[in-house]
Amino acid sequence: MPFGDDVLSGLSARPKTLPAKYFYDELGSLLFEAISALPEYYLTRAEAEIFATHADEIVERAGLERLVELGGGSATKTRYLIEAALRKRAALSYSSIDISEAALEASSRALRSEYPTLNVRGYRGEYFEGLRRMAAQEGEVGGRTLVLFLGSNIGNFDPPEARRFLKAIRDVLRPGDALLLGTDLKKDRKDLEAAYDDELGVTAAFNANILGRINRELGGHFAVRRFKHRAFYNEPDGRVEMHLESLVDQTIGVDALSAHFSFKAGETIHTESSYKFSIEEVEQLARFAGFELETSWFDAQRRFACNLLRAS
């Protein structure tokens, strides 16, 4: 019971934490789609702008036979690359790895319907597991592979985890294959904090959904309204942090874990870190993992970068 194990260890820790990967059950995935449409959340629009402007160039520079996407969700932005690739070749292989079964199945059905010559495969699970299964089941393909890790999801890893993660991707690629890495760039605190604390409260609902998921799946007894969403930019660490702050002293049971967790008023559960990058930091990260930063594409306001990392 990985979810239960992670909840038990995270809520027993000091300070308390919960892994951000558990945001994305069916409801969480829908909430994130809503977040992506918010005016404050520039990241999705900025990345989509890059693809709309540079998709043909990205495909040309990458030179690919197979697309592999990590955490593709609805694959909305990926369609720009799929269509650019299919303008150059009759058929294409696309593999998606996602922790959300609902998102994986929905996107796979839609892509098969929209692109009859697209060979779609889906792997449900965490990224490391999915990469291993994909490598074992699909084996070698002719031509180059382009792995997509978009939406600045790399920012959800602490720096040592980010390095290990990129190294794990590199380990299943051959020299000449590539990774297209989306990174949110460092910028003004006001813009960063607004993106994670919107006026409508959609991000607050997305954050609190992790408590609702504990209630639904593990028999938790969280009164979600006794927690408040907090988001702020930790400038020394270069990351936006999301927390759930207990509004009162309270003790909460979780039946499936046979455990109770006590909170003081003001105590928080750290649910997400979203690191922001400079291009120099992207280059350093790439080299550590066995890639070379070949080129970066930016939106018009240079808020976001899509970085082509070549496996060396």
* Every domain of the chain and the residues it spans: 2-39+189-275, 42-187+276-311
The span from the CA of 128 to the CA of 169, in Å, is 8
Q: Which CATH superfamily is domain 42-187+276-311 in?
A: Vaccinia Virus protein VP39 (3.40.50.150)
Number of residues that make up the chain = 312
pLDDT string in tens for the chain (312-residue length): 689 999 999 999 999 999 998 998 889 989 998 999 999 999 999 999 999 999 999 999 998 888 999 986 667 889 999 999 999 998 899 999 887 777 788 889 999 999 999 999 988 888 878 877 877 776 655 568 999 999 899 999 999 999 999 998 998 889 999 999 999 999 999 999 999 999 999 999 999 999 999 999 999 999 999 999 999 999 999 999 999 999 999 999 999 999 999 999 999 999 999 999 999 999 999 999 999 999 999 999 999 999 999 999
The span from the CA of 2 to the CA of 212, in Å, is 17
Say what the pTM is.
Answer: 0.88
